[in-house]
Structure 1
Amino acid sequence: MSNPSEPDDAGRPGRADDQTEQMRVDAESEATTEIIGSATAMTEAAQQHDERRFTAPSGFDGSTQKIDTPPDPETEVFAPPTAKAAAPQMIPPRDGAPVPPAPETPSRRSWGWVIAVLLVIAALVAIAILGTVLLTRNSTASSQEDKVRATIENFDAAVQSGDLATLRSITCGSTRDNYVNYDQRAWDETHARVAAAKQYPVVSSIDQVMVNDDHAEANVTTFMAFAPQTRSTRSFDLQFRDDQWKICQAPTG
């Protein structure tokens, strides 16, 4: 049996040599491929790095743009402030604080004096008018009271003397009717009997007179002629009729 490593008869290496050679060639091819592949990978990586470095971001084109910046504003020159005279300022008061009164001017003071004088004059005029009215009223009332007193005195005198005409002229109402119902003869007879018995009243004093428009009332002290020591207080009711005061109700008894 022949050795595979020995050349055959034709002078060519044997099968074993062929396999060894083929394995060497294959190994060299693989090494070359790896070297070429590594170089290719490195080249591609370098290209990708350069592309990432110099390629513009998405959304922009690849052209380089120059952005113009606005020029800086010129420096402004401020004029120095002019000095002004300081004027007094009104400081508003705080809430709830009293407001100080404004200073009075001479014209305001003069007007104040004028108003004060006018008020004093008006007060004096009002007092004078009121006094005049009161005095007039008092004098009028006094005169009316005097007239009432005069009417009562005339009535008392006519009763004592039996003056029928006077009694009819200064009375009114039911009192006058009593005197009108008498004729002169009957009156004279009746009055003679009353006077003899002293059965008629006598007015001792007129104590108080109150006048209210056309009505008056008088309180008097009376007594009967036959008993002067027995006094009593009676009242007369009077009305102002026909320009005079008339007794419309006389005391009785």
Structure 2
Amino acid sequence: MKYIFSDEYGTPSYKGIDRDENKVFFLSAVIVDPDDYSEFILGLTDFKVRWFKHKAEFCLHFKEISRKERIYRFLNNEHDEVSFHKDLLELISSLKFSFLGALINKIEILHHYKQNIHPYLASIQLIAGKLLEFPEREFRWIFESRRSFEDRLYADSLENLTIMGVTTTHLDWLKDHRFGDLKFVTQFRRKEERIAGLEVADILAFAIGSSLRKEILEKPLWSFASRILEVIKKEKSLTGHLYVAI
């Protein structure tokens, strides 16, 4: 049973969609073999101890890294910032995992569909659709816990997928009864539990999601994020493609 760790970039809500940061939603899926996960944890822990010493017991959060505030204030020193991101890139390259993302352009959804499609449920559907191409049939899908309502919604969507072939009836044209052959065990873990797979899922969701958003809106890319995107595309892509999209 492989592990899937997921985190998002952007909000699933359609409110405030006039603001650039709310125009797209991106869900990351970091897929790890259980036999590789101990080394995965050790690699991330070593990185945190190397950079934060006795303060290392916290979750890496790429949005906060980009702001260079609080525990990341030292990144305001250009030399330290370059060294930190070089080390982070090498860490990501060294960890054993596969990656797939789902990109939802909410502007396009509003233009082409009669109803607002929930970006998180659509992302789960798209990622799971690619899992059908591989022999593995059982997955433990791990999300960061939000509110109890959201946790229940996402767990129910995976149950719907295996029973009805679709996460939500708003996506009926993607229905596929082969999902009945898959088994998903869902888990929701709190940020303070410091789950290594979720930390990496957060880094990749923000780095890749923000880069794709800026490409769509023709905005300048942040080099440290776009380098992560390129490494994942070249070294970690599950299917040969970085993401699936609606």
TM-score, normalised with respect to structure 1:
0.18
Larger radius of gyration: 1
Structure with the greater relative contact order (CA < 8 A, sep ≥ 6): 1 or 2?
Answer: 2
